[in-house]
Amino acid sequence: MAEAIATRSLGFTYRGAAGPTLHGIDLTVDVGEVIGLLGPSGAGKSTLQRVLTGLLRGATGDARVLGRELSSWGRELYERIGVGFEHPVAVGCLTLRENLAYFARMYPADTRAPDELLELLGLAEDAGLRASAMSKGMGIRLNVARALLHRPELLFLDEPSSGLDPVTASQMADLITRERERGCTVVVTTHDMVLAQEVCDRVGFVVDGSIVEMGAPDELRRRHGRREVVLTWDGGRSVFPLDGLADDPGFHRDLRERRVHTLHSQEADLAQVFRAVTGRELS
């Protein structure tokens, strides 16, 4: 199986809605790939995730997940996929460790040890804390730990860095990378451009229920950036074309005569790419 997900002209309309939330979604995700879905609130990212995980029925078009038509899957789908929701989902009267042990009983196959996952998500010191006392960031991490209990083949993460400090967000990026290394396919919906750029093999921009652009983060950044380099020094800066830079006398003069502090190429960041492609802001 080369594709973990394959959709064609996928659409979805909520009952009573004036129009579709998703329309014309063509998406292919290879096994072992990490893909990011980026877009403003209300763009359809979470709806797409709910359709692909079988939580929303009645979609139009075609969708295959893990080699089977989505409509043919029953509850056994949840033995092979993991889902980490954006909002914390836990039994409040149970501790973090007890929550994972409780959910582990729902799987027929062996699961990972709760303490192993709590350590992996930086929650080991809070294992005995009741879930009702969690912060949002802790709840997000517990969601991810629960999604990893049964070693899923396909993992969906909705805003996994929401509410996390920079150090913990970096640990989340490391975790996603490790899941890819063991062969897991990961779909991340996020506003976090740093996370998307660091861990995703490809990103897709979702606007008004459609994927309007998709590609590797570095390739998109180069395509929508400027082919220039910028030198800065105390009290000044200079800009040079990247093409022909090796033979540019002004560039060599500044390197010799200035105490250069920074030298940067001008590829765009993903937020700038999104703005250039869609005319929208990621908010």
Query: Got the DSSP string for 113-159?
Result: -HHHHHHHTT-GGGTTSBGGG--HHHHHHHHHHHHTTT--SEEEEES
Q: How confident is the model at residue 184 (pLDDT cuts 50, 70, 90)?
A: very high
- Largest Cα separation within the chain, whole Å, is 70
**Is residue 114 predicted with pLDDT exceeding 60?**
yes
pLDDT tens digit string along 124-177? 999 999 999 999 889 999 999 999 999 999 999 998 988 888 888 899 999 999
Of residues 158 and 41, the one with the higher pLDDT is: 158
What torsion do the CA atoms of 190, 192, 197, 200 make, to the nearest 10 degrees? -20
What's this model's pTM, rounded to 2 decimal places?
A: 0.87
Using the structure block, give the residue that is written with the tokens 């192993």. Answer: 116
Q: pLDDT at position 280, please?
A: 77
pLDDT tens digit string along 59-100? 999 999 999 999 999 999 999 999 998 888 899 999 999 999
Q: Which two three-digit tokens encode residue 86?
A: 């954006």
Q: pLDDT at position 88, please?
A: 82
Supply the mean pLDDT for the chain: 92
Closest listed residue to residue 51, CA positions, set 21, 25, 12, 79: 12
CA distances from 98 to 20, 41, 103, 118 (A): 40, 33, 9, 11
d(CA 149, CA 200): 22
CA atoms in the 13 A half-sphere facing the CB of 178: 10
Q: How confident is the model at residue 112 (pLDDT cuts 50, 70, 90)?
A: very high
Q: pLDDT at position 99, please?
A: 97
CB 194 within 8 A of CB 222: no
Average pLDDT rounded to a whole number, residues 17-42 = 93
Q: What is the separation of C-alpha 34 from the centre of its chain, rounded to a whole number of angstroms?
A: 8
Q: pLDDT at position 283, please?
A: 65
d(CA 47, CA 41): 11
Neighbouring CB atoms inside 10 A of 112's CB total 15
pLDDT tens digit string along 220-234? 988 888 888 999 999
Average pLDDT rounded to a whole number, residues 177-201 = 92
**Is residue 1 predicted with pLDDT exceeding 70?**
no
The DSSP 8-state label assigned to residue 72 in this structure reads: G
**Is residue 20 predicted with pLDDT exceeding 90?**
yes
